[in-house]
Every structure is written in structure tokens, then in C-alpha cells.
Amino acid sequence: MNWSAFIRPELRAALRRWRESLAGAGLCLVAFWAWLDGIGIVAWLALPLVLAGGALIWTGIVRGRLRGPGTGPGVVDMTEGQLAYFGPLDGGVVALDQVQAIVLDPTGRPHHWVLHRTGDPPLHIPVTAKGADTLIDAFAALPGFRLERALYLRGPGRDGLRVIWQRDATAPVPLAPGRRLD
């Protein structure tokens, strides 16, 4: 029996978006129960489980805020270090080790991740594209990428392009004429 048919699609999407936080909360509840009912070493093992659950909750909150609903234009696919975006107007494939900079463009509707790569035009991916939540995991594998910085820079109040990550901090990020960094 397919139990997911009994859950509304909106609730299913919300559960999927916040899955790490929910798992961390469940782990904390189990650890708290073990601490209350445990004797000896079982009670002491609850403390590391609470800490692990808290870390999972924090990571889930950061990732959940970065994930989009997945209802935007195009599809993102991540296979063996190759990131592919297939959109209604354009698309492309890029290897993660070729990405030189990741820029957030809030001027597009919806906002876009812009992946700059050597020798090729930048790849624009809407943050709401289907499968775009896999980008967060892919970006986290890049050296020096910080989820907290991406979350902060994606926040409201900025109009210009925002450099989320750059492989070489001394190299300038190539921008289209008339564009500016925030």
C-alpha cells in the first residue's frame, strides 16, 4: 500500500524540505526518553545523542531555508560530479571541479544560481527548479563553501549579485556589462 497517497502534496513537500530538522528532533526525543528511563550507561549515552540531534536540527534549518519549493522552471540533475540543468530556454552541464565561482542573482524571477566556469558561458539555474535542492549538497562538497554564508547572502535587503563562493578569492568574478556585485 502506498501510504504517501494519504498525505497531501503540500505536507509531503514540507516534510521533505525540513527532513534533517525533523530527524534531529526525533533523535533528541529518543535521547531524552533514554535519559529519563535509562539506567547507568544508557542514561549517559543520551547526552551525545542529544548533541548529535541538535547538530542535525541546526543543519536541517540551514538547508531547509536554502531549499526552494521545486516548482520553478527546469530540472536539475546531479550525477557523479556532473551538474546538469535542463530548462525551457537554456541549460547546460558542468563538472563541479570546473566551477570557479557561484553567484546568486536576485534580479531574475525567480532568483538564479549563476555558476561561472572556465572557458564557457555561465550556467543560470533558478533556485526553484525541480531538483535544485541537490545543489546545496553539491555546493557543500566544494572546498571552503559555507552554508551559513549562502543563507545569509540569500536573505532579503540586497539588490545586486552576490558571490556565494569563489575557488580563487583573488580572481575577479566575470560579470555581464552593467551588472554589479552587492
Shared-domain flag, residues 62 and 19? yes
Q: How far is CA 86 from CA 46, 76, 113, 124, 130, in A?
A: 46, 7, 14, 10, 10
Report pLDDT for 153. Answer: 67
Distances in Å between the alpha carbon of 133 and those of 28, 40, 65? Answer: 25, 42, 10
Question: In this structure, what DSSP letter does residue 98 have?
Answer: G
In a domain, 176, yes or no: no
Same domain, 78 and 153: yes
Taking the C-alpha atoms of residue 81 and residue 73, their distance in angstroms, rounded to an integer, is 22
Q: Whose CA is closest to 135, among 174, 168, 172, 165?
A: 165
Greater model confidence, 150 or 46: 46
Query: Is the overall model pTM greater than 0.75, yes or no?
Result: no
Give the model's pLDDT for residue 91. Answer: 87
Give residue 177's pLDDT band: very low, low, confident or very high (50, 70, 90).
very low
Provide the residue range defining the domain that includes 94. 72-166
51 confidence band (pLDDT: 50, 70, 90): very high
pLDDT, average across residues 2-28: 85
Any domain includes 173: no
Angle at 126 between CA 121 and CA 128, to 5 degrees: 165
Indicate if 76 and 156 belong to the same structural domain.
yes
Domain count, the chain: 2
Helix (H, G, I), strand (E, B) or coil at 93: strand
Residues 60 and 78 in one domain: no
